[in-house]
Structure formats: C-alpha cells, structure tokens
Amino acid sequence: MSVQAEPIQISKNGKTVAVVMSYENYLAVEDIKAAHLQHCFEQAQRDIVNGQTIDGEAFMQDLVAGKHDKK
C-alpha cells in the first residue's frame, strides 16, 4: 500500500471543508506544534525572569483598542 504524500482537500460548493493527511504527516505536524508551544513557554519564562511583563488589564485594553492587530 502506498502512502499519499500530499494532503487531500475535500470541497463542498467550492469551499474546502476538510483535509485528509497521512498519519505520518499528522504526527509531524503535532511534533512541530509541540516544539513551538515549548519554545513559547520557555520564552515566557525568560520574559518573567527578566521583568518583561505587562499588566493583564492594560494588555486587554490595548487588545480591544486594536493595538495588537497585525497590519
């Protein structure tokens, strides 16, 4: 049995509604996500140690005001 190398898109009315991929590709994606999450956690720990934090309420106000929107 051969393995499909590329993900398969399933469309409905011209819009992609699902993607099917091999189990090996799924595991690779999960590994990448876990590594990214670990990196973010480690960076957050360094930020805390270095005092590079902001008040949660101030951040939420900035978020609502759009100050963190990608341009």
Encode pLDDT of 4-62 as tens digits: 789 999 999 999 999 999 999 999 999 999 999 999 999 999 999 999 999 999 999 99
Beta bridge partners of 10: 18
pLDDT of 70: 84
Range of the domain at 36: 24-70
8 occurs within a structural domain: no
**Residue 18 domain flag:** no
Looking at the domain assignment, is residue 49 inside a domain?
Answer: yes
pTM, two decimal places: 0.66
Residue 12 lies in a domain: no
Q: Report the number of distinct structural domains present in the chain.
A: 1
Q: Distances from the Cα of 23 to the Cαs of 19, 31, 36, 50, in angstroms?
A: 12, 12, 20, 41
Q: How far apart are CA 56 and CA 68, in angstroms?
A: 14
- In whole angstroms, how far apart are CA 1 and each of 4, 60? 10, 52
